[in-house]
Structure 1
Amino acid sequence: MATYEEVKNIPNEPSKYLFDVRNKSELEETGTLPASINIPLPDLEKALNLPDGDFKTSYGRAKPSTDAVMIFSCKAGGRAARAANLAKTLGFTNAVAYAGSWTEWEQKQAK
């Protein structure tokens, strides 16, 4: 599991990836995590199977290597856990969920 501190530091660690698997409508309501890439959970498998060039064109960043650190976030952690498990089944060995996800992020940012 990823921690709030790890997620907060993502903008300073360009080798790590932060994926927000919420739907676009949810992001419009709440905002986004800094440096996150939005790939809604239903689109994740297709996105992670894209050729490198297509991934970069679609998401503005190089496709992660299979050993890249990938942190998944959603609203409360459930979809993030499913996303991390999906990524692992596709061969991404360092996929983890941010258990607190947006709910924890919002609470800690308010302090």
Structure 2
Amino acid sequence: VPGRRFFSLCASGRPSLSYRELKDLKKTNVLHIDVRERWEIDRFGKIPASINIPLGELVQALQMDPMEFEEQYNQKMPSKSDPVVFSCLAGTRSKQALAFAMSLGFSRVQQYAGGLEDWVKHEPPEKK
């Protein structure tokens, strides 16, 4: 079909976002969760307007009481129908995060598989 966009499918059969798609999504109210470790964020910076929930905390975080979530991550907890994007450095952990979230019943989750490695090819990361 002319004009149809072809996505690269990740393991779950869900398309991975491109840099441009992520930029466009960020103009909406998507929650962007970076699942790298805190020291990685401190050392290498982060994609602007993303929050950090390390992969090891993610399953617990997504099952928290919403008030507790907001207290800990300074962000409104996503509902299972809210759009959520996961990223990491280069796609391995975000793929796991996607699988975790889907297994918990989140229906509008996607990943930016290029991660920080891809982002920095387009623009600098945000440093603290």
Partner of 1:89: 103
Of 39, 43, 59 in structure 1, the residue corresponding to residue 73 of structure 2 is 59
Dislocated runs of 4+, deviation >3 Å:
none
Q: Which runs of 5+ in 2 are unaligned?
A: 1-15
- Across the aligned residues of Structure 1 and Structure 2, the Cα RMSD in angstroms comes to 1.3
Is residue 2:17 matched to residue 1:2? yes
Q: What do residues 33-80 of structure 1 show as CA deviations (whole Å, max 9, x unaligned)? A: 111010000000010000111111111111101011110000000100
* Cα contact 1:7–1:18 (8 A) shared by 2: no
Is residue 2:83 matched to residue 1:69? yes
Between the two proteins, what is the percent identity of the paired residues? Answer: 35
**In structure 2, what is the Cα distance between the partners aligned to 1:54 and 1:6?**
31
**In structure 2, what is the Cα distance between the partners aligned to 1:3 and 1:19?**
16
Q: Which runs of 5+ in 1 are unaligned?
A: none
Of 118, 122, 128 in structure 2, the residue corresponding to residue 104 of structure 1 is 118
Q: What do residues 3-39 of structure 1 show as CA deviations (whole Å, max 9, x unaligned)? A: 212322454222x110000001111111011110100
Q: Which has the higher helix share?
A: 1
**TM-score (norm. length: structure 1):** 0.91
Number of aligned residues: 109
Letter in 2 for 1:44: L
